[in-house]
């Protein structure tokens, strides 16, 4: 099973990918996490990437594809792609790569979230530095991960101005990817404006069809 999870910033791709990873024993490939790990390594490439993603812009297709192919080649598990493809060019290269590696995309799941929900959701979003868990805090006092005690942080690209910019890029570059898959027979839409548990139930149902 190889699944692509799509959706605007804050739609819940990371949360649902983690659930899918655990439930179906998949390899979760979050291109955002791959890029953040490169930044955390302190490499020259990481510094270049930080300059791009902290502003809410997209990393070049060439850079993304080279990073992704390496990861896909090195796993024989089913995959959940989270945050990739984000452009039609990436979708085309992914098709090509999957064919070469004799794998197939099974489903493309679009998680829909009304835009008025996005800024509110993202402003309460925190990620754990240690275990990577994504949480939504209810008070500014929450600074520690309830699961592992790691420090919680706000992503630099999660400020309201950056989120607005990321939404513009989503409309311009990523929504055309929806058209790319819409008539493939693999494309499904899920209502993301529900509890994470209900969204996950709906995704499981769509995968069983
Ligand atoms: P995410 O964690 O998926 O929200 O991604 C965070 C940021 O990483 C995005 O706003 C982009 O700057 C960059 N990024 C993640 N995935 C991609 C991709 N497939 N192509 C280009 N840039 C990406």
Q: What pLDDT band is residue 72 in, cutting at 50, 70 and 90?
A: very high
Q: Is the CB of 84 under 6 A from ligand 1?
A: yes
Q: Read off the CATH number of the domain in which 61 is found.
A: 3.40.50.300
Note the pLDDT of residue 140: 82
Q: What is the pLDDT, as a whole number, of residue 120?
A: 86
In a domain, 133, yes or no: no
Residue 121 belongs to some domain of the structure: no
Domain hosting residue 32, numbered range: 2-113+160-207
Residue 84 included in any domain: yes
- Please tell me the predicted confidence (pLDDT) of residue 132: 85
Residue 94 contacts residue 105 (beta carbons within 8 Å) = yes
Answer yes or no: is pLDDT of 47 > 90. Answer: yes
Predicted pLDDT at 66: 86
Residue 8 within any structural domain of the chain: yes
> b/e for 99-111, b at 16 or more Cβ within 10 A?
eeeeeebebbbbb
In a domain, 88, yes or no: yes
Ligand 1 atom closest to residue 35's alpha carbon, by position in its atom list: 8
Q: What is the pTM of this model?
A: 0.90
CA nearest neighbour of 71 among 13, 28, 105: 28
Residue 150 resides in a domain: no
The reply to whether ligand 1 has any atom less than 6 angstroms from the CB of 83 is yes
38 CB under 6 A from ligand 1? no
In a domain, 134, yes or no: no
Q: What is the mean pLDDT of residues 184-194?
A: 96
Instruction: Give helix 175-182 / helix 88-100 axis angle, nearest 10°.
Output: 50
From residue 56, alpha-carbon distances to 1, 32, 70, 80 in Å are 31, 11, 25, 23
Domain count, the chain: 1
Query: Which pLDDT tens digit goes with each residue over 173-183?
Result: 999 999 999 99
Tell me whether residue 125 is in a domain.
no
Catalytic residues: 13, 86, 125, 155, 166
Give 82's DSSP letter: E
93-146, pLDDT tens digit by residue?
999 999 999 999 999 999 999 988 998 889 899 999 998 888 989 888 889 999
Would you say the CB of residue 157 lies under 6 angstroms from ligand 1? yes
Give the Å distance between the CA of 200 and the centre of ligand 1: 22
Chain centroid, CA 130 distance in Å = 19
């Amino acid at each position: 099973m190889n699944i692509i999870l799509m959706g605007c910033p804050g739609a819940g791709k990371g949360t649902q990918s983690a659930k899918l990873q655990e439930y179906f024993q998949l390899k979760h490939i979050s291109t955002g996490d791959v890029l953040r790990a490169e930044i955390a390594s302190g490499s020259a490439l990481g510094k270049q990437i930080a300059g791009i993603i902290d502003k809410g812009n997209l990393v070049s297709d060439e850079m993304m594809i080279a990073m992704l192919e390496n990861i896909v080649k090195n796993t024989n598990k089913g995959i959940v792609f989270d945050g990739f493809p984000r452009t039609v060019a990436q979708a085309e290269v992914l098709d090509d790569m999957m064919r070469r590696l004799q794998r197939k995309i099974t489903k493309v799941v679009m998680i829909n979230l009304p835009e008025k929900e996005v800024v509110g959701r993202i402003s309460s979003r925190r990620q754990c530095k240690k275990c990577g868990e994504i949480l939504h805090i209810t008070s500014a006092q929450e600074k520690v991960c309830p699961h592992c005690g790691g420090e919680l942080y706000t992503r630099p690209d999660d400020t309201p101005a950056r989120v607005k910019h990321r939404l513009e890029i989503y409309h311009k570059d990523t929504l055309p990817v929806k058209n790319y898959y819409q008539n493939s027979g693999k494309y499904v839409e899920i209502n993301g404006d529900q509890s994470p548990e209900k969204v996950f139930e709906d995704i499981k149902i769509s995968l069983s069809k």
